Amino acid sequence: MDMVVESVLLSFLVGGIVGGALAFHMGSHWGVRK
């Protein structure tokens, strides 16, 4: 059971990091408009 919880948390953590990096890359590439 702990393995399942760890895998789910790890997937969320990796997804958050990848999503944040992708959003930052896209923002810096297109130019951030405020």
What string of DSSP letters covers 1-34? -HHHHHHHHHHHHHHHHHHHHHHHHHHHHH----
Q: Tell me how far apart the alpha carbons of residues 31 and 22 are, in angstroms, rounded to a whole number.
A: 14
What confidence score (pLDDT) does residue 12 get? 96
CA-atom Rg of the chain in angstroms: 14
Confidence of residue 1 (pLDDT cuts 50, 70, 90): low
Please name the amino acid found at residue 1: M
Confidence of residue 25 (pLDDT cuts 50, 70, 90): confident
Overall average pLDDT of the 11-25 stretch: 93
Residue 11 has pLDDT above 90, yes or no: yes
What confidence score (pLDDT) does residue 28 get? 80
Residue 9 has pLDDT above 90, yes or no: yes
